[in-house]
Amino acid sequence: MFTERNIAEESERSTHEFDQLRYIFIDDPVSSLDENHLIQLAVDSAKLIKTSKSDIKFIIASHNSLLYNIFYNELGLKNRYILRRLADGYFELKDKIDDSNHSFSYHLYLK
């Protein structure tokens, strides 16, 4: 469970080391968790993200469809994206339009 508070007022923080932080990138946080711990991690993380009083953007990457679905539902997201690698080596971020699972062979991203 998260015990630290999100302190929006810079003057009240114990450190200013992270004041310029704009993004938090979380890469596949569930690689060795069982389903129960994965669900708890996702619910707690979503709660932390929803209650954040800062302008920090969270980017979560995972191959795990359960984690993806929990974040999608807990955060009440409207948009879904998949990252596709193109033949020329570049990548594109595409809207995920339907509910098919064909995208789960790709790395999933939530913004």
Nearest-angstrom CA–CA distance, 44 and 4? 12
- Tokens representing 17 are 């080391």
15 in any annotated domain = no
pLDDT tier, 107 (very low <50, low <70, confident <90, very high otherwise): very low
Tell me the pLDDT tens digit for each residue of 27-68: 888 878 899 999 999 999 999 999 888 888 888 888 788 888
Q: Is residue 6 one of the residues assigned to a domain?
A: no
- 91-102 average pLDDT score: 71
12 belongs to a structural domain:
no
**Residue 84 within a domain:** yes
Please say if the pLDDT value at position 100 is more than 90. Answer: no
Residue 16 located in a structural domain: no
Nearest to 64 by CA among 88, 38, 89: 38
Average model confidence (pLDDT) across the chain: 78
| Domain assignment of residue 82, given as a range | 21-110
Domain total for the chain? 1
pLDDT at res. 110: 47
pTM of the model: 0.63
